[in-house]
Amino acid sequence: MLRRVARDLLEMAIEASRDSHPNEFGALLRRNGDVIDELLLLPGTISGTDSALFRLHMLPIDPTVAGSLHSHPSPHPYPSDADIEFFGRLGEVHIIVASPYNMRSWRAYDRRGEPLELEVVRHRR
């Protein structure tokens, strides 16, 4: 199971989430070995104040897709029922970045919506 995430990925996701506010930001996560280190932006993703809708039919066949990342404009980084339903459809790690969009305002979850601990690492390809 993936248990590490690159710091620069989180920093990029935090900045993108801040820039998208008050709408949600959404992207998929890619892994390189055992480290989640890349954001994959899907064409046609729709962002609104209540959700980010992914067009999964636009997803290339890619075994390195590890899960998803999206933001919550509220200060609550906890998955909704709709989030958990989506988590079960794709990948094994899902990250939610909440307002105020900093290194303390994100949480990771497994496909059932259970909290995961991820080690933040400096990663070089």
- Strands 26-32, 35-40: pairing is antiparallel
Show which residues are catalytic.
24
